[in-house]
Amino acid sequence: MVKKIQLDNGMVLVCQRLEGYKSVTIGVWVKTGSSNEAKHENGMSHFIEHMVFKGTESRSAKDIAMEIDGIGGEINAYTAKECTCYYTKTMGANLEVGLDILSDITIHPSFLSDNIETEKTVILDEISMYEDSAEELVDDIINGITFKNHPLSLPILGTKETIMSFTREKVIEFYENHYRPDNMIISVAGDFDFEALESLANKYFGDYKRVAHSESESTHKPEFNWGCNSKKKDFEQIQVAIEFPGIPFDHELSYDMTLLSNLFGGTNSSRLFQSIREDRGLAYSIYSEPNFYDEIGTLSVSFGVAKENLKETIKILSREINRLITEGFSEKEIDHAKSHLRGSFVLGLEGSDQHMDLIGRIELFAHKEKSVADMLKKIETVSLEGVQTLIRHCFTSGDFSLAIVGDITNEEVEKLYGVMKNSINQQGVKQ
């Protein structure tokens, strides 16, 4: 059972005791990511994620590492488009250590100027590493097309130019505007005592008070944009990303969307994998996945192929999309996919860290389904009609974005885009 507690300062704590577990995972979530950044501060959320580990008012970076290592625990963090999460995983007996360290790094970071300059070099190297990764690079390009001038189009890491422009004053200003109790939650799952957890959470977080001292720049509602773009790189393969219109995370058909993606290209038995990988051997990996955001969503397809197989792969992909439009799925396929979704969902909750992540996201993004039981029930409501509605929404307009990275010219990409768009549009018009 998930329990929700409000701390003395109004911050929300959600927690779930897991019987038989020896570990406890604590997450501190901030509802801030690259989608909350202005263009000139792009990468700031991720930069701050790095900086809090560089030291606090009472701990050095080495102190933080030594304390966690000394109890055999883990500490880490990640930044996404719409949130940042800091977490520890320890033995249940070390609950207080985790809360102490997480509160210290998120509430009392020192942001020393020397550390800021040092970390700039680290993140510049990280950006360079991503630029050498076809999968990461094509992902940034496709987001740039799909979301255009909206902050969702911005790369999570930022750019080399924005990173170099960060000063201590700018870092502190962004931090103080976003790291505040009304924009943060704590999620805990695993081995703990409820009364002890509430007391310790109030001890380390309950006195924390901060309000935004300046108004954030308002952003317009994101819209789906279509088109194509490419980046010529000397890679052995051509990396492709395609996005179709989707739905936001709390849409009534969000589970239907996950099931549609699984049937289309999300599993080894999916149509894309079977047709392109197994039947023809055109690509080692091809998959689809839904991307859910607060106000918008996409259905994406990604694959890497040898250049000589690119046109054929696009042709087969277009054919499978048209098959979806004309034939859809059968009730038998829907039932099979629901069984897979139930199983993969439950198996994905084998550790305290996965439970922490789930209940944290539910609370942070105000999901309608508040428990695993709710979600399993929701899977049962997925219907053939709902999936068919989404097929029409995703594909029949013929609108999509295409990004390609590799040894290819813009002219070649534009031609491929036109051929694929014409093929899908013709089928969509027939509907």
Residues involved in catalysis: 49
Q: Rounded to whole angstroms, how far apart are CA atoms 357 and 362? A: 9
Which residues make beta-bridge pairs with 76?
A: 87
Which pair of tokens denotes residue 227? 């088109």
Residue of 104, 100, 115 whose CA lies nearest to 167:
115
The 3-class SS string of the chain reads CEEEEECCCCCEEEEEECCCCCEEEEEEEECCCHHHCCHHHCCHHHHHHHHHHHEECCCEHHHHHHHHHHCCCEEEEEECCCCEEEEEEEEHHHHHHHHHHHHHHHHCECCCHHHHHHHHHHHHHHHHHHHCCHHHHHHHHHHHHHHCCCHHHCCCCCCHHHHHHCCHHHHHHHHHHHCCHHHEEEEEEECCCHHHHHHHHHHHHCCCCCCCCCCCCCCCCCCCCCEEEEEECCCCCEEEEEEEECCCCCCCCHHHHHHHHHHHHHCCCCHHHHHHHHCCCCEEEEEEEEEECCCCEEEEEEEEECHHHHHHHHHHHHHHHHHHHHHCCCHHHHHHHHHHHHHHHHHCCCCHHHHHHHHHHHHHCCCCCCCHHHHHHHHHCCCHHHHHHHHHHHHCCCCCEEEEEECCCHHHHHHHHHHHHHHHHHHHHHC
